[in-house]
Structure 1
Amino acid sequence: MGESFTHWPWAIIMVDMNAFFASVEQRDCPEWRGRPVAITNGLQGSRIITCSYEARAYGVHTGMRLKEARRLCPDLIQSPARPERYAETSAAIMVSLEDITPDIEVFSVDEAFLDVTRCQRLLGHPEQIAKRVKQRVFEVSKVLCSVGVSGDKTTAKYAAKLNKPDGLTVIPPWEAKARLHDVPVTELCGIARGIGDFLAQHGVHNCGDMEQLPISVLARRFGNLGRRIWYMAQGADPDPLQMTVAAPKSVGHGKVVPPNTRERTVLETYLLHMSEKVAARLRRHEMEAMKFFIGLRGAEGWIGGKLKLELPCSDGGAIMALCRRVLNEQWLGEGIHQVQVTALDPKPLASQGDLFAAAVPVMQRENTNEVMDAVNDRYGEFNLAPARLLQRSSMPNVIAPAWKPFGHRKTV
């Protein structure tokens, strides 16, 4: 194919699925298409995770209480979240995009960056490649997406949100600085309230103001992130695509409990649920840990802290023993709203020589866990589990913000 266009030195496409969870539900339930749909965490969920564009037209939005949303939109359809279904659809989309370019960063369950710089000679202008991306996403998933195209990740992500739903916005690299000039800096991905307040104190409100602020000011305060922000605001984000999943710094799960829970048996059930989820995830990726954060969140903040086992392990019973220590030693009966169990130092399984140092009961638990994992892998999570978990919360799992379709991040 001859080049009849200006070859971009860098070409980044951001794919952003439109109201993804709600779109999947409308796809799977055709009678809901064109109607206001709100996703909640199970039928018990009282706060909206996301909603369809038809619901948004009434003023319904993410984070709104369902009761308030129904006042705005009496015909609102409540749909319990199905995170496994969303993860399955997302994974299929991400895999299909590899047919266009292998250079993909899965940014979240419903967003991805594609570096198509090297595809231009074969596939044409970046805008043409973006149209191909939109078509590919729809063919695979039957859900729509919005796409932004530019020469860097931040500008491409900004472009993707300009024309929703089902939009395609192109900002050529040489126009990026001018296009961002009057855009508030807080509209750029990664510039939250804290950084935004710091910038405002230094006279930076819009991206165009950034040029007047020495990069050293940001570098002293935020390090390399500060340097990146300085370039981001000028349409020249230097951050490359992150195409590999770094080794985990932690592996954790948490859950909201019924408000102001004071019953120890209820808290023990929730903590055991989270302990077993963390342990199973460690085993799935052939990891173990010795240090854990066990937390109970009350009205005054977190109770608990960092605790340590004698030996690294991936056994839910051993982790639960730490949870009981927190209940026995730090919880005074106050109302609890949330529990959290996190492995703080996950590492690959110990060598064979280290295994002989383990006590026989530990080896027996490992054998039991192996059987339990095999059953649950085949028949579904917690089909085989400690009896207490028959009383676990009926609220479904959720997708973590850092979800990826591969590696240790592939979890709900």
Structure 2
Amino acid sequence: MGASQNPTVAAWPRMIALVDMNAFFASIEQRERPQLRRRPVAVTNGDEGTCIITSSYEARACGVRTGMRLREARRLCPGLIRVTARSALYAEVSTRIMDALRDQVSPDIEVFSVDEAFLDLTRMQRLYGSAELAAEQVRRVIHAVSGLPCSVGVAGDKTTAKWAAKQRKPNGCTVVAPWESAERLRYVPVTELCGVGRGIGAFLAQRGVRTCGEMAALPVGELARRWGNVGRRIWLMAQGQDPEAVRTDAAPPKSIGHGKVLPPATTDERVLRTYLEHMAHKVAERLRRHQLEAQQFFIGVKTDMGWVGGRQLTAEPTDDSRPVIMLCRRVLHEVWLGQPAFQVQVTALDPRLANIQLELFAQHNPHRGSQNRTLDEVNRRFGSLTVGPASLLGRSMTADVIAPAWRPHGHRHTV
């Protein structure tokens, strides 16, 4: 691994690192295209995309931020260069990085997102000698396999490590020893901690807790009564004692879904039907890929008044898109009333391992499963929907977006 042993350094009870890739998508584009290096770059979804997914640090210096519309960003940064996202490339680079970290730094890794990972270094402390040397090894490994910069935070718990990684960007390292964490977090707003959103922040503010240091004066029971175990964890997080372990295995999926943003204020039923059917095909393909099936599906169309649609049931658990498409058509015919729509969503709500023993009285097409498997193999080899129904010829051609729960392997490996 390239690190020297130093058994004289006192071991931490736990040592956890958070790796945060810096402006990940934009950094990959600058690596791939030398003409973009040291230039303000904004990445959008598709050639017509107007919402910024991420931006380079040169653009951020001008005030450009994720979620900003391209027109506003260009007012702040007239020289801004828009680049179309290449999700498959980003996922490939992330996979290389995560695999290298597992093989060359620590086998105890939790992929938190496409550009973040927790590493439990507790068992590796004698090998690296210190948190600083461990963090340097992380950065060396990532640069060797990707050529990209990253920031690393090392602490005695996950929450403090994630906070620490944000303190020196880009390409920095921050170490917070376990016995220093409460003091280092004392004046940090509680809403800066991962998982503490505005709702929990408002709840705490009403009780006089705005900074982490003020948390100790609040009885833990206050949070536990309102938020249960989550509340207890937040109370400990604010004091640098997050008990959450690094999770090396992805939890079984609670849902599998796909959505797509529509052209603005869509009222054409044919367009809606095409988009919904496309999402149904993507969900069914993922179910088959992981030997899953589902019977409950959320079929939704988003309008100015919120989502219309809701939970729908197929006759029996399925991994076939056809019964899901029938549910989509039912929602359009019975629930959607022609109001302008902006987004569609199809989600399998109860994925479970496929039942290979057929129900006695269920009607099955003995050829459908083999047909689907053959089409899946063709499409995985030559690209999504290389072979597919004619009804999807008018589908959206915007690039797929990497899901927040993306993982390099397993059921969350999808864009």
State TM-score, norm by structure 1.
Answer: 0.98
Indicate the residue corresponding to 1:241 in structure 2.
246
Letter in 1 for 2:276: L
Equivalent in 15, 38, 43 of residue 42 of structure 2:
38
Partner of 1:187: 192
Distance 2:407 2:358 in 1: 34
Partner of 1:137: 142
* Aligned: 1:268 with 2:273: yes
Residue 295 of structure 2 is aligned with which of 290, 294, 305? Answer: 290
**Partner Cα separation in structure 2 for residue 394 and residue 210 of structure 1:** 49
Q: Which residue of 1 aligns with 2:321?
A: 316
Distance 2:389 2:147 in 1: 40
Could you tell me which residue of structure 2 aligns to residue 106 of structure 1?
111
Quick one: distance in 2 between partners of 1:240 and 1:3? 25
Given candidates 14, 17, 23, the residue that maps to 2:21 is 17
Instruction: Report the alpha carbon displacement of residue 2 of structure 1 after superposing the two structures with TM.
Output: 4.3
SS in 2 for 1:391: coil
1:397 aligns with 2:406: no
**CA deviation digits over 1:280-316, x for unaligned, max 9?**
0000001111111100000001110111111111111
Q: CA offsets per residue over residues 124-176 of structure 1, 9 Å max, x none?
A: 11210110000100111111000001110000100000010001011111100
- Distance in 2 (CA, whole Å) between partners of 1:287 and 1:313 is 8
The one of 314, 326, 339 equivalent to 2:344 is: 339
Q: Deviations along 1:88-134, whole A, 9 cap, x unmatched?
A: 10110000011211111111100001111111112211210110000
Task: Find out whether 1:196 has 2:215 as its counterpart.
Answer: no
1:13-162 equivalence runs, <5 A: 13-98=17-102, 99-162=104-167
Secondary structure of residue in 1 paired with 2:257: strand
Question: 2: CA distance between counterparts of 1:186 and 1:200?
Answer: 10
- Deviation digits for residues 39-69 of structure 1 (CA, Å, limit 9, x no counterpart): 0011111110110000001110001110111
2:38, 2:126 → 1: CA distance?
40
2:393 maps to 1:381: no
Distance across 2 between alignment mates of 1:302 and 1:83 = 27
Aligned mates of 1:378, 1:205 — CA distance in 2:
53
Aligned counterparts of 1:6 and 1:345: Cα–Cα separation in 2: 48
How many residues align? The count is: 410
| Match in the other structure for 1:299 | 304
Q: Deviations over 1:232-266 (max 9, x none)?
A: 00011110011111111111100110111000100
Q: Cα deviation per residue 1:314-367 (whole Å; 9 max; x = unaligned)?
A: 11121010000001111111110000001111111113343x64424x333222
- Relative to structure 2, which stretch is displaced further, 116-125 or 45-54? 116-125
Matched, 1:407 2:410: yes
> Are the counterparts in 1 of residues 53 and 66 from structure 2 also a CA contact under 8 Å?
yes
Partner-residue secondary structure (3-state), 1:239: coil
- Aligned 1:196-215 pairs, distance under 5 A: 196-215=201-220
Task: Judge conservation of contact 2:152–2:174 (CA < 8 Å) in 1.
Answer: yes
Read off the aligned partner of 1:86 and give its amino acid letter. Answer: Y
User: Post-superposition shift, 1:8?
Assistant: 1.5
- 2:305 and 2:83 map into 1 onto residues whose CA distance is 33
RMSD: 1.0
Identity %: 57
Distance 1:396 1:50 in 2: 15
CA gap of 1:208–1:373, structure 2 versus 1, over 3 A, is same
Note if contact 2:40-2:79 (Cα within 8 Å) is conserved in structure 1. yes
CA distance in 1, matches of 2:300, 2:333: 13
- Please give the alpha-carbon distance, in whole angstroms, between the structure 2 residues aligned to 1:121 and 1:260: 60
5+ unaligned residues in a row in structure 2: which ranges?
Answer: none
- Give the letter for the 2:283 counterpart: V
Q: Which 4+ stretches in 1 moved above 6 angstroms?
A: none
Aligned residue identity for 2:170: P
- What CA distance in whole angstroms lies between the structure 1 residues aligned with 2:19 and 2:358? 48
Aligned 8 A contact 2:6 2:127 in 1:
no
- Letter in structure 1 aligned against 2:169: K
CA contact (8 A) 2:256 2:283 kept: yes
1:217 aligns with 2:222: yes
Distance 1:14 1:220 in 2: 30
Give the CA deviation at 1:73: 1.1
Give the C-alpha shift of residue 6 in structure 1: 2.4
Q: Compute the displacement of 1:270 (Å).
A: 0.1
Give the SS at the match of 2:411: helix
Runs of 5+ consecutive residues of structure 1 not aligned to the other structure: none
CA distance in 1, matches of 2:290, 2:366: 18
Quick check: 318-327 or 5-14, which moved more?
A: 5-14
Between the aligned partners of 1:132 and 1:370, the Cα distance in structure 2 is 43
